[in-house]
Amino acid sequence: MTEQRWYTIKDVDQLDTPALVIYPHRVKQNIDIVKNLIDDVYRLRPHVKTHKNSHVTQLMLDAGITKFKCATIAEAEMLGMANAPDVLLAYQPGGPKIKRLILLILTYPATKYSCLIDNQQSAKAISDAAIENDINLNVFIDLDVGMHRTGIIPDDEAVKLYKYCAELPGITPIGLHAYDGHIHDADLIERTQKSNSSFAPVLKLQAELKQKAFTPIVVSGSTPTYSINAARPDIECSPGTFVYWDRGYQSAFIEEPFLTAALIVARVISLPTDTTICIDCGHKSIASESELSKRIFFLNAPELKMKGHSEEHLVADAGEDHQYNIGDVLYGLPWHVCPTVALYERAITIENNIITGEWLNIARDRIITI
């Protein structure tokens, strides 16, 4: 009798592949875990880039989470559609994105939106748009604490930018944003040391702003540094990947208690040689930015060695005298779940090992309605 594993789908014959499948009971457990790792749920501001759907958002809202972070206008609109109370667009809007953000604010008045700023030119453009539409928009100063992609160094220039924004009509600076996605050391001690080092200038900047009568909130962190930042007082924490987890984080951060909750189900479609198998899981099915060995890990076929990858096919070395047959079902854990989810318009839900429905990943699109 075949062993019944947590991920096995009894009616998998009804599922076309490749398919993104989600296990809602494990998602709920991850939400409970992230809540239990912090002293106050009010300090949680999860990033929705991983799940991109209203169903997970609702589970978080039901759990008492009221603040969210996102990276795209579509993600921001998905949150507005869910009546999320507080949404930070962790991106500096420019060009048409400013108009779209303004329209979001006007369309979803139950949601309080804010965004990032790291220079005076952008601040002025957003201020002008806000004035034109008779609104006031809260903004966070985006700080570069080591990621080196956007943001301003947390020094005197950041103080000047904060004061500049405070003097502009239409916008109000309310905080600092410090994303530390560059910190992903496997060793927790090293990770903590690097986190403390990158965060020290933020605390210094916050103290300087308080001396000037400002009261900046600090939004910081990612999933790898979540437990570190959760231990700091009065910091809003923004983990994202925790909700689904993946092979990359599972392998790197063994102390984290989160459960893998999203898989790619695939099938063996060809046996090109005596030792290789071909699987219907190409670039269009799994995030492929990493080396070939770090794209997907098959839970029920851990010995497979990936040999080749193209748009629709994945070739793996199964070894001599392997027992794989055409049609065999494989359950794959993505190494990087966030961009993998973005490849699928829908996720199939699995409960009690049975297909129960689907969750539309509506925020994978660039535009929902706005």
Q: What is the pLDDT of residues 320-362, one digit of tens each?
A: 999 999 999 999 999 999 999 999 999 999 999 999 999 999 9
pLDDT at position 190: 97
pLDDT at position 221: 85
Distance set, CA 273 to CA 200, 277, 319, 322 (Å): 57, 7, 10, 11
Give the chain's domains with CATH numbers: 12-20+261-364 (2.40.37.20), 25-241 (3.20.20.10)
Counting residues of the chain whose pLDDT is more than 90, the rounded percentage is 99
| Assigned token pair, 116 | 């990032």
Which stretches within the chain are classed as H helix? 24-36, 54-62, 73-81, 96-107, 120-132, 156-167, 188-211, 226-230, 247-252, 337-341
- pLDDT band of residue 4 (cuts 50, 70, 90) is confident
pLDDT at position 3: 58
pTM of the model: 0.96
Mean pLDDT, to the nearest integer, of 92-98?
97
Length of the chain: 370
Q: What is the DSSP letter of 42?
A: G
DSSP, collapsed to helix, strand or coil, labels residue 331 as: strand
Q: Check whether 1 has a pLDDT greater than 50.
A: no
- Cite the beta strand spans of the chain per DSSP E: 19-22, 67-70, 86-89, 112-117, 137-143, 171-178, 217-220, 235-237, 262-270, 276-279, 296-298, 305-309, 314-317, 329-334, 346-351, 354-360
- Across-strand partners of 279? 268, 314
Q: What is the pLDDT of residues 191-216, one digit of tens each?
A: 999 999 999 999 999 999 999 999 99
Q: What is the pLDDT of residues 220-241, one digit of tens each?
A: 989 999 999 999 999 999 999 9
User: What does the mean pLDDT of the chain come to?
Assistant: 97
Residue type, 166: A
